[in-house]
Chains A and B, each alone.
Chain A
Amino acid sequence: MNRKKTKLKPTTLVTPPREVSPPRQQLFKDHRRLGFSNTVLVLVILFLFMPLFVVITYSFNASKGMRWTGFSLQWYYKLLFESRQLWKAFLNSFIIAITSSLVATFLGALAAVGIKWYRFKARSYIQIISFLPMILPEVIIGISMLIFFSAVKIPLGMFSIFVAHTTFNLPFVLLLVSARLDEFDFSIIEAARDLGATERQGLTKVIIPSIVPALLSSMLMAITMSLEDFVITFFVAGPGSTTLPLYVYSMIRYGVSPVVNALSLILVLAIMVMALTFRRFLKTIAASS
């Protein structure tokens, strides 16, 4: 394994080194405020937020429809006091998101370490099957799981949703952790081994601490995807396991959607509050990933 740490020479075109130290990069974090790309970025961000503003605005609408008839907090009141089914659905979503992302992160990270650290016969097989779920449309994954559960007579419910969510989260965890491990120099483990560390210590005391940011961002990503998921959950949900997206879908046909708008605003605020509190935490994740 010859990994030379080359210093960058501006006159030779080599593949760029993976870690560029901050000061050099700072030189090119640029001066031009209103360049083309910056304008596009701002416009795209506005584009992304426009529906969000609409949602929030209608959550304060005094009437149900799209016509603005005045300011009102009635939907927030209804949300907090008259929406038992909604909160149950939210709780279901939350439980599934946490459990499936925990399991996916655990299994995925472990596998990433195995794949990046060692070479073994089944390696390519595992790499291929963990890549496939990412490139298949959700409807196909959803249908295949419904058919699978019915064929092996596993009842549909929280468990089946949990299994489905873990399954589609695994490839992303693997991807994120592997990307982080790509930058990890395994020769450190060799050095540790030479100094008498066991393999387990190599794992727990060297590798895992250095991939913590990737673990956290994997969990975050998995939780987001699980909370959001509609299509796959639609196929594998069962009695008592209506999740938030499913509930919202059922309300679109008939129902008080401003209540759901109100919930959206509350969720966004809650997450922003959490993000601000853990600001420093997030900076470490971003810096090392």
Chain B
Amino acid sequence: MKKVSLLLTLLFLFLFSGCTKEEKVLHLYNWTYYTPENIIEQFEELYGIKVVIDYFASNEDMFAKLKGGAKGYDVVFPSQDYVEIMINEKMLLPLDKEKIPNLKYISPIVLEKATYDTDMSWSVPYYMGAAGIAVNRKKVASYSRDWSLFSDKRLDHRMSMLDDMREVIGDALAYLGYSVNSTDPKELEAALNLINKEWKPNLVKFDAEGFAKSFASGEFLAVQGYAEAIYEELDENRWDEVDFFLPKSGGPMYLDSMVIPKGANNIEAAHLFINFIHTPEIYAQFLDRFHFPASVNTEAGKYMKSTPFYRVEELEGYELKMNLGADLALYNSLWESIRYND
């Protein structure tokens, strides 16, 4: 009986042990694969701070958690529209820029686009990129290298798009020549028709989770998705089977940033981490790992050893998905009629 109580006490102590040794732990809340393990390890070695990472798969998940009361994260990686929301909702702590000298490497072009926080008072850009289209070159002979690919009946039932409202509607809007942040009912209606009448009938599903695996297995011949996810599922010797491109029509773009939320326990370490990430040699390792172009930290581009899956120039026609505020309801109802109707 005594042994059981001892064991119980130990186990219960474990439960609440998140509260010990705060100066030595950094809590990250990040996208599921976004910071390579070796960078984390280098940080841990350099500063002697242990890093604990929790993952989210979408901004909405992350925001629901933070709004719902999850506290104790030191650095979070939201996308641009959510950075704006979090600033407005006073969920963030201001950054002490003196502790982040590497900010000088951040590309001014990127900062210009980040209209919600151009002087980095609350957020530091982490990476700017876009989802594109991947086609199985081996099995598909001729195809349009634009969003109209999804209207192609020959690929019926072998395609998927992301289960992401802003991405799909944004693609349609961009293809029709409108802004991805449009709130004009006529433009939205046109986008809805394009999606429902031409794209959706050819799609198997809207998939933001397994698209890469399904593409790699040959189940899908063309998917809308993120380059790094798709190439990750294939061995390097098969990479030339894939044609990944960002359609010239343009589309929605994302800019993920590092922020420090209220309730962070280790603000000192958070600043150290943010600064560490933008050390050009370190950031180059991040770019190499995912074959990203140096969109945010141009200095790091000089240290890169790999070829990116797409180039920064291709991002030219792309627009950041901005926060729509109350107008999001328009997109919601649009998305409902796309997703929930047969």
Contact = CB atoms under 8 A, between A and B. Distances in A.
Is there any pair of Cβ atoms, one from A and one from B, under 8 angstroms apart in the complex? yes
A158 B16 contact: yes
Contacts of B55: 242, 246-247, 250
Contact of A156 (B14, B70, B212, B229): B70
A149 B68 contact: yes
B57 interface: yes
A245 interface: no
Given A64-B233, A238-B70, A254 B33 contact: yes
B65 A65 contact: no
B234 interface: yes
Interface residues on A, range: 35 or more
A69 B295 CA distance: 37
A237 B54 CA distance: 9
B210 interface: yes
A190 B307 CA distance: 83
Interface string A149-178: 110011111110010000000000000000
Given A239-B70, A239-B72, A253 B11 contact: no
Interface of B: 8, 11-12, 14-16, 18, 27, 29, 32-33, 37, 52-55, 57, 64-65, 67-73, 208-210, 212-213, 216-217, 228-229, 232-235
Contacts of B16: 158-159
A99 interface: yes
Nearest to B14: A95
A68 to B, nearest CB: 12
Interface string A233-256: 000011111100011011111110
Contacts of A240: 18, 27, 52, 54, 72
Interface of A: 63-67, 82, 85, 88, 95-96, 98-99, 102, 146-147, 149-150, 153-159, 162, 237-242, 246-247, 249-255, 257
Contacts of B216: 64-66
B70 A63 contact: no
A238 B61 CA distance: 12
Given A155-B69, A155-B72, A254-B32, A85 B210 contact: no
Contacts of A99: 8, 11-12, 15
B27 A239 contact: yes
Contacts of A95: 11, 14-15
B317 to A, nearest CB: 26
Shortest beta-carbon contacts, A-B, top 3: A239-B72, A150-B69, A150-B68
B286 to A, nearest CB: 15
Contact of B53 (A85, A98, A154): A85
Select the residue from B37, B64, B73, B213 with max chain A CB neighbours within 10 A: B213
A239 B73 contact: yes
Contacts of A149: 68-69
A241 B54 contact: yes
